[in-house]
Amino acid sequence: MENFNDSKALAIEIAKILDKKKAHDVRVLKVESLTVLTDYFVIASGTSTTQVAALADEVEYELSQKGLEPYSTEGYDSKNWVLLDYSNVIVHVFVPNTRTYYDLEHLWADGEPIDISEYLTPDSTLE
């Protein structure tokens, strides 16, 4: 089992998994000073409900291979917004219109955006 005691390392690993699976606009937001629920949000978009499910499935699969299972999952029924709770890191995968509607980046604007550009393929972040 890989050691992900460092929640930032886990958040970056999740961002890399999402990027490898062609997620759009992958962001990592440090929120540990704002909530007791988690340390980081990883937020990403898929182009369809099918891709959202595939992205979430890939994160679950890749992390399970490293000995990590989510504490809970939500949203697999509608697939407009799938949430994977890894305790110190919560993953949000949206279809674009749902991401725009809930606008977590704005809601948690006091969080610290983490620069993950060095870990992502050059065309995977939206300008």
CATH number of the domain to which 88 belongs: 3.30.460.10
Q: How far apart are CA 112 and CA 96, in angstroms?
A: 22
- Number of domains making up the chain: 1
Tell me, yes or no, whether 99 lies in a domain. Answer: yes
pLDDT at 123: 64
Burial of 50 (0-12, 13-18, 19+ CB in 10 A): exposed
Q: Which residues lie across from 84 on neighbouring strands?
A: 73, 91
**Which tens digits make up the pLDDT trace of 97-116?**
999 999 999 999 999 999 99
Domain of 27? 7-115
Tell me, yes or no, whether 97 lies in a domain. Answer: yes
Tell me, yes or no, whether 86 lies in a domain. Answer: yes
Cβ neighbours around 38 below 10 Å, total: 19
Q: How far apart are CA 4 and CA 13, in angstroms?
A: 9
Split at pLDDT 50, 70, 90, the class of 2 is: low
Tell me, yes or no, whether 15 lies in a domain. Answer: yes
Q: Which residues lie across from 89 on neighbouring strands?
A: 40
pLDDT, the chain, mean = 92
Q: Which residues lie across from 43 on neighbouring strands?
A: 27, 92
Stated pTM of the model = 0.90
Split at pLDDT 50, 70, 90, the class of 4 is: low
Tell me, yes or no, whether 121 lies in a domain. Answer: no
Task: Answer whether residue 66 shows pLDDT above 90.
Answer: yes
Tell me, yes or no, whether 106 lies in a domain. Answer: yes
Q: Which of 19-23, 27-31, 48-52, 119-123 has the lowest mean pLDDT?
A: 119-123
Tell me, yes or no, whether 94 lies in a domain. Answer: yes
Q: Which of 1-10, 65-74, 113-122 has the lowest mean pLDDT?
A: 1-10
pLDDT at 122: 76
Split at pLDDT 50, 70, 90, the class of 3 is: low
